[in-house]
Structure 1
Amino acid sequence: MKRIIFMSIAFLGTILFFGGQFDQVQAVGTQEGGAEIDLKRFKEKHSVIRDPENPEVQVDPGETPQTEGDLRIDFVPKLNFSTVTIADKALILPVNAQLFHGNTNARGNFVQVSDYRDNSTGWTLQVRQEQQFKHATKPGAELKGAVISLDQTWTNSTKDASLSPIVSKEVIHMSNVGDTYNLAQAQPEKGSGTWSIIFGASKENKNDRQNSLEPRLDASGNAIEDPIFKKPVYSNQAITLSVPKETEKEAGAYSTVLTWILAELP
């Protein structure tokens, strides 16, 4: 049965050869023996969040929803498009980049998927926006026509790149609320282990990815600090929210719900 997961929001053998004289021994009989070995895939039973640009390094992004099992979602981003001034024009708003507790610097926003099944049949990762951005306190007020766009998608893992899931090279415009959009697909026997699906990258990345992060500054040109992580806030141009000029924009906070879907193949 196909399993669908929803989330809203080496052995080293050494042989030593020694030189020297050995007495010759005549064999008087032989007996066949045997050897057995049982090989099992390594399974990381508990979710460990990894730096998407340096996946051998464990990081702490704070509390995050997770799913369980051998095929699971370890991490999804909480997209925050920051505070902007109302303007009578079309707006294209970059998301805040991912921050971490500790010494790790800002990164592109990412989803982390782990597949430790004994028989990896492949998987797909999708996302769906459940509703339009709605005002927190004014019923009926929403950002009509607002669209989330996902760009500069790439993958990373401690695994060989030949095992990578496939991601879109085109911009994903989530223009239809309620529609499901494909983010990544792992073919059978690929996508095993832990993989990050990343949108954008920092300038310090070693993966030949274009920098998409810029520090956010206040009106005086000073760096804005995140109150939780106690670090400078960065914008990430790889994920944007576009709001049409004609959309009525009431002052206040707006939010929506994103559902992340991980399904095993076939």
Structure 2
Amino acid sequence: MRRSYMLSSSILLSAILSFSVFPTNVLAAQSFTTNATVNLQQGPIPNDPNMIRDPYDPDLPYPGDINDPGNDGTGSVGPLTLDYVSNLRFGTHELKQGGLTATAKNTHAMVQITDSRANGNGWTLQLRPDSLVGEQTGASLNNGYLYLGTEAIRKPSSNVSAPPVSKTLRIPIGSYENIVVAPQNTGLSTWTIGLNQDSNSPTQLVLNDTANAVADHYVGSLSWSLTNAPS
């Protein structure tokens, strides 16, 4: 009887051990790894200019600016383009001693950039305001700066990219400054950079000294530059 008991106990113990180990082996055997794949290739280089968009709502087409008539965009095509830049109009002002601060009249002043590249290398937008020269007298105004004011950086609703960032807003006449920079993996697809939209921080031309200025219609070039990497 004792031998039989001991044997029975051994069998029961073996059964318990086998039962407790077996499910673990089954679970391990049922674990697998599969793959998810996608094939990407560089898209074709655009051969038509990008649509110019409304800087207040980039899902809509550009409605035009009554203070910048005839400006239909740059017509640029390619993987990274400066699609639109505004001419800034500062109106008519009385010639006085001392300086002058003139606010832009534009209702839809803006810059539009499209980055169709797939590499996410980023980009930099620079601006240099040149001296203002009188059309009749040739007199030059170069002591001052252009203040862009608060920039409204927006994108169409279909754009999922992270935004570029605003940099320098105060640009001395005759100097290049970085005004908007897209760090790596940001600023993809189309972006509008609206100017003169905030009445508390508008776009302004500041002339520090007009004591020797003469009455004339002054024109100064705005040189916009888009480079294909952040700086």
Normalised TM-score (structure 2): 0.71
Tell me what 1:13 maps to.
none
2-structure distance, mates of 1:60, 1:255 = 25
5 Å matches for 1:1-266? 38-39=39-40, 45-61=48-64, 62=70, 63-97=72-106, 106-107=107-108, 109-129=109-129, 131-139=130-138, 141-158=139-156, 159-160=159-160, 163-168=162-167, 172-177=169-174, 179-201=175-197, 211-212=198-199, 238-265=202-229
2-structure distance, mates of 1:89, 1:176 = 18
Gapped runs of 5+ residues in structure 1?
1-34, 98-105, 202-210, 214-236
Q: How far apart are residue 147 of structure 1 and its match?
A: 1.9
Query: 8 Å contact 2:96–2:211 — kept in the other structure?
Result: no
1-structure distance, mates of 2:194, 2:62 = 15
Q: Which one has a bigger Cα radius of gyration?
A: 2
Normalised TM-score (structure 1): 0.62
Question: What count of residue pairs does the alignment treat as equivalent?
Answer: 186
DSSP 3-state at the match of 2:140: coil
Higher RCO, Cα 8 Å, sep 6+: 1
DSSP 3-state at the match of 2:141: coil
DSSP 3-state at the match of 1:64: coil
Identical residues among aligned pairs (%):
25
Tell me what 1:22 maps to.
none
- For each residue in 1:9-66, what CA deviation from the matched residue of structure 2 results, as whole angstroms up to 9, or x when unmatched? xxxxxxxxxxxxxxxxxxxxxxxxxx98645677765311111111100124343324
1-structure distance, mates of 2:210, 2:37 = 71
2-structure distance, mates of 1:89, 1:174 = 20
